[in-house]
Amino acid sequence: MNHTLPHFQPVELKHASRLINHGPTVLVTSAHGGRRNIMAAAWSMPVEFTPPRIAIVIDKSTFTRELIAASGVFGVCLPGAAAADLTYAVGTASGREQDKFQRFGLQAFAGSTTGVPLLANGCVAWLECRLIPEKHTEDAYDTCFAEVVGAAADARVFANGHWDFHEGNAALHTLHHVGAGNFAVASSLLKAKPLP
C-alpha cells in the first residue's frame, strides 16, 4: 500500500462490490498515450461478486470512453462529502481540450494493478477496473462492464468489508447525485433487527 496514504487499506476483492452497492456518485479516471481524464458518473453498480464485476454508464461521446477503449482499464474513485465541489466541477468540464487533473490541482497516483490514475485526497475508496468489452451494450446503452482487479478504502469509513457512516466521519460520507449539482450525503447507518 502507498505509504503516503496511511488511512487506506486494501479491500478484499470479495468485498469490492460493497464499495458501490449503495449507489454513490463516482469519479471515473482514465489514461492512454500520455493523456488522462477524470469525470463524474452517477450510474454505477456491482453486477457480480466472484470475480467482482461492475457496470457503469459512460456516454460514448466522452473523452473518458475514448481513453478506456484505447487502454482497456479505468479507475473508479469514490469522493467523500468534502469533495462535492470538485465532483461537480469534474462532472461539468470536458477533459478533451484540457487536463482536468492539472486544472483542478488534483494529485493522482498510479494504481498498483493497472497503472490508472487514482485519487486519495477527497476520496474514500477506489477500484481499479479492467474493461470487459461488450460492444452492443456499450454502443446501445453507454453501459460499460468491467472486472474489479484492485480496491482500497479509507479504514476510517470502510473496514472489515463494511461501511461505517457516523457523525464522527461525516466528511468521509459518500455523495449521491440527485440532479442539477445537488448531492445527498450518506448518513449514519441504521442496523436492521430480525423480525419475529
Strand, coil or helix: 48: strand
1 pLDDT more than 50: no
What's the pLDDT tens digit per position in 71-89? 999 999 999 999 999 999 9
Using the Cα atoms of residue 130, residue 30, residue 46 and residue 111 in order, give the sign of their dihedral.
positive
4 pLDDT more than 80: no
pTM of the model: 0.94
Residue 187: its pLDDT value, please? Answer: 87
What is the maximal distance between C-alpha atoms in the chain? 60
Instruction: Specify if 114 maps to a domain.
Output: yes
What's the pLDDT tens digit per position in 94-104? 999 999 999 99
Instruction: Specify if 87 maps to a domain.
Output: yes
Burial class (CB in 10 A: 0-12, 13-18, 19+), 43: middle
Instruction: Specify if 44 maps to a domain.
Output: yes
Q: What is the DSSP letter of 167?
A: G
Instruction: Specify if 1 maps to a domain.
Output: no
Q: What is the DSSP letter of 42?
A: S
What's the pLDDT tens digit per position in 118-177? 998 899 999 999 999 999 999 999 999 999 999 999 999 999 999 999 999 999 999 999
Using the Cα atoms of residue 61, residue 64, residue 70 and residue 74 in order, give the sign of their dihedral.
negative
Instruction: Specify if 190 maps to a domain.
Output: no
Residue 85: its pLDDT value, please? Answer: 97
> Number of structural domains, the chain?
1
Residue 189: its pLDDT value, please? Answer: 80
24 pLDDT more than 50: yes
Instruction: Specify if 166 maps to a domain.
Output: yes
Write the CATH number for 44: 2.30.110.10
Instruction: Specify if 124 maps to a domain.
Output: yes
Q: Residue 142's domain spans which residues? A: 8-185
What's the pLDDT tens digit per position in 26-43? 999 999 999 999 999 999
Instruction: Specify if 77 maps to a domain.
Output: yes
Residue 182: its pLDDT value, please? Answer: 94
**Spatial distance between the Cα atoms of 118 and 99, rounded to a whole number of angstroms:** 14
